[in-house]
Structure 1
Amino acid sequence: MTQHEAHDHSHDHGDHQHDHTGHDHSHAPTVTAGNERVVLIGFALTFGFMIAEVIGGLLSGSLALIADAGHMLTDAIALALAWAGFRFGRRPSDRKRTFGYMRLEVLAGFVNAVSLFALVAWIAWEAVGRLFDPHPILTGPMFTVAVIGLAVNVVVFLVLRQGDTEHVNIKGAMLHVVGDLLGSVAAIVAAIAIYFTGWTPIDPILSVLLSLLILRSAWSLFKNSLQILIEGAPSGIDVEGMPEALADAVPGVAGVEHVHVWSITSGQPAATMEVRLVPGADARETLKAVKAALADKYGIGHSTIEIDFGDTGADCSLRASAGKGHTH
C-alpha cells in the first residue's frame, strides 16, 4: 500500500460523514526559500550599516540619525525573526505540531509590529527632551551618514521586493525599511537646514513626524498579524455570504452551517463547515464540487467538511476522492 493509498479511507460516524480535504499540513508557501534568502541578505546589510549609523549619530549629536539607527536596529531584529520564522516554517509537521511551524512566521510579524511601537515611544520621549534642552549638532558627519543610510535602505528595499511582497513578514520588513528610508531623508533635510540656519529644533521635530509615519505602518502590520494569530477571517473573504454562495454554486448543496474560516499563516486560508445535501445528491461529487468552489471563489485550498446526510436519501457511499485532498 502506498502512502497516498494509506490516507484514502472513510469512516461512517452515525448520521455524519467527515471530509478532511486538503490535509497536507506540511506544505509551506512555494516562495519560502526565496523569502528566506532575501530576508537574510537584508539583515546583513541592515545590521552592518546600523553599527556605522550609531557611531555617526553619537559623533554628530543628531537625534534624527540616532532614531534612524534605532529603527535600523529593530529592522535587524525584525529581519532576523523573519528569517527564523521562514527557516522553522519549512520544517515538516509532526505529531505534536500537525500544522508544522508555519505560524512562527506570523508570530515574527507580530513582534515586528510591537517593536515599532516601542521605537515610536522612544523617539517621542527623546524629541521632547531635545526641544527643551537643545544639543549641538555636527552637520557634516550627520549629512554623510544619512546619505549612505539612504542608499543602503534603497538597496535593502529592492532586495526584499524580490521576495513575496504579500507575505506578512516580507511586508513587515519592507515597512521597516520604508521607515528607515524616510528616517534617512529626514536626517538629510535636518542636516541641510541646520547647516544653513543653525535652527537645531528641526532635528527632533522631523523625528516626531517620522515616528507618526512609522506608527501608521506599525498599526496596519499589528492588525494583520494579530488577525491571523487569533484565527480571524482573512480579509477579502465574505464568511457571512459563503453559505448562500456555495448553495448557489453547487447544485447538490441544500445548506451550509457552522462555517469557520481562518489563516494557518499568511496566504494560507483554511475552512471548516457542515454541508447538508439535497435529496438524491451524490455525496462524493457534491463534496468535490464544494471543494472546487472554495478553491476557485475564495482561494481556500485546505478545507475540512462535514456532510450531514440526515434524511435526505442522498447517496451515502463515499470513496476516496481523486485529485486534491482525501476523504476521512
Structure 2
Amino acid sequence: MGEHGHGHSHVADREADRRYLSAALAVIALFMIVEIVVGVYASSLALISDAGHMLTDAGALALALVAGRLARTPARGAYTFGLKRAEILSAQINGITLFALVGYFLVEGIRRLVSPPEVGGAFVLVTALVGIVVNLIATWLISRGNRQSLNVEGAFQHILNDLYAFLATAVAGLVVLSTGWTRADALAALVVAALMAKAGYGLIRDSARVFLEAAPRGIDPQLLETEMRGITGVVEVHELHVWEVTSGFPALSAHVLVSAEQDCHERRTAVERLLRDRHEIRHTTLQVDHRQDFLPTESLRPRSPEEQDDADHGTGRE
C-alpha cells in the first residue's frame, strides 16, 4: 500500500508540474515578443539579450513539458525504466543552451563597450520593469512545482536568471536615462551572461552526475555500507551500487551476506526498511545469502602471478 500511495503522489506531482510549466510558458512567450520589438527599436543589447534569454526560457519550458510527458512513458521492451531520463537530458540541454548564449553576449557586450551605440533609456527602463513583474509571476508559478526534479529545476533556473537579468537591465536603463552613459547597457548584458554561466554550470554538473551514475547527493556509499553492516545478522556487503535513474529516483543494488542462524528473507526486509526510512531509497535489488554458502571474499580476490604459480605447482599443473 505504501508503494502505491507513493506512486500516486508522484503522478499527481507531475500533473501539477505540467500545469505550472504550461502557465509560465504562456506568460513568457507573450512578453518575449513584446521585448524583441522594443529591444530592436531602442537598440538595447540588454533588452535583446533578455529577449534571447527568454527565448531559451520558452524553449526550456517547452522542452521540460515534452520531457515530463516522455518520463511518464511506461517501461516496455528495451527501455526497462521507461524514458525517465528524458528529464535529465532536458536539464542538460538547458544548461548547454545557457552556455551558448553566454558566448554570444560576452562577445557582443565587449564590442558595445568599445563602441557603444545610442540606447533608448526610457524604453529599456519601462520594458525591464514590466519584465520584472512578468518574471516574478513565472518564477512563482514554477517554484510551486517539484524542484527536486532536475527537469523542473532547469526551467526554474532559466526563469530565475531572467528575473536577475531584468533587474540589471532596469538599472542600466535608469543609468542611461539619467546620465546618458550608454555603456551601462553593455555592462548589464555582461552581468546577465555571468548569471547565465553560473546557472548553466550547475545544470550541466548535476545532470552529468546522473548520466555518469554517481551516488545521489547526500548519500555516501561507504557510510551507507557501514549502516547496512550494522544491521543485526548482516556480516558482509559486496557489490554495493547506488545511483539515480532520474532526479528523485535513487536506486541501489548489493550482495548481502548474513550469519547462518539468520533468516535471509527477514534480513533483506530489515535492510530494505533501513534504506527506505533513512535514505528514501525505495528501488532496491538485494541478493541475500548465508555467509557459509558463499565463497570467502579472499577467494574472489584476483591472484597475483606468483600466487597463481604456487597454486599451479600445488595442483601438479605445469
Q: TM-score range by the shorter chain?
A: 0.7 to 0.9
1:264 is paired with a residue of what secondary structure? strand
Alignment of 1:1-328 (within 5 A): 30-248=12-230, 250-311=231-292
1:192-234 per-residue CA deviation (whole Å, 9 max, x = no partner) reads 1111111111111121122112211221121111111121110
Distance, in Å, in 1 between the alignment partners of 2:291 and 2:143 is 52
Deviation per CA, 1:259-315: give whole Å up to 9, x if none. 1111111111000111011121101100111111111121100001112335259xx
- The answer to which structure has the higher helix fraction is 2
Gaps (5+ residues) in structure 1? 1-20, 314-328
Q: Which amino acid aligns with 1:278?
A: S
Determine the C-alpha separation between the residues in 2 that align with 1:164 and 1:215: 23
Greater relative contact order structure (CA < 8 Å, 6+ sep) = 1
Name the aligned partner's letter for residue 237 of structure 2.
Answer: V
Letter in 2 for 1:61: S
Name the counterpart of 2:316: none
Give 3-state SS (helix, strand or coil) of 2:148's partner. Answer: coil
Aligned partners of 2:292, 2:168: CA distance in 1, in Å? 70
1:170 is displaced (CA, Å) by: 1.6
- CA displacement, residues 157-176 of structure 1 (integer Å, 9 cap, x when unaligned): 11112211222122111111
Q: Which amino acid aligns with 1:253?
A: V
SS of the residue corresponding to residue 179 of structure 1 reads helix
**Does the aligned pair in 1 maintain the 2:44–2:185 contact within 8 Å?**
yes
Distance 2:254 2:52 in 1: 47
Q: Give 3-state SS (helix, strand or coil) of 1:240's partner.
A: helix
Could you tell me how far 1:30 is from its partner in structure 2? 4.5
Report the Cα distance in structure 2 between the residues aligned to 1:118 and 1:76, rounded to whole angstroms.
16
Confirm or deny: 8 A CA contact 1:26 1:99 kept in the other structure.
no
- Specify the SS of the correspondent of 2:254: strand
Instruction: Please give the alpha-carbon distance, in whole angstroms, between the structure 2 residues aligned to 1:49 and 1:92.
Output: 36
Change (3 A) 1:106 1:196: same
Divergent runs of 4+, >3 A? 24-30
Number of residues of Structure 1 aligned to a counterpart in Structure 2: 291
- The C-alpha deviation readout for 1:21-76, integer Å capped at 9, x for no partner, is 99x99995541111111111111111121111111110111111111111101111
- Residues 235 and 291 of structure 2 are in contact (CA less than 8 Å); yes or no, is this contact kept in structure 1? no
Letter in 1 for 2:275: L
Distance 1:193 1:140 in 2: 10
Q: Secondary structure at the match of 1:258?
A: strand
Deviation at 1:101, TM superposition (A): 1.3
**SS of the residue aligned with 1:241?**
helix
SS of residue in 2 equivalent to 1:304 = strand
Query: Conserved in 1, the CA contact under 8 Å of 2:18 and 2:68?
Result: yes
Distance 1:110 1:29 in 2: 23
Normalised by the length of structure 2, the TM-score is 0.87
1:105 and 1:162, CA in 2 relative to 1: closer, same or farther beyond 3 A? same
The aligned amino acid for 1:260 is H
Alignment-mate amino acid for residue 122 of structure 1: Y
SS at match of 1:67: helix
For structure 2, the residue ranges without an aligned partner over 5 or more in a row are: 295-318
Q: Match of 2:283, as an amino acid?
A: H
How far apart, in 2, do the equivalents of 1:164 and 1:242 lie? Answer: 26
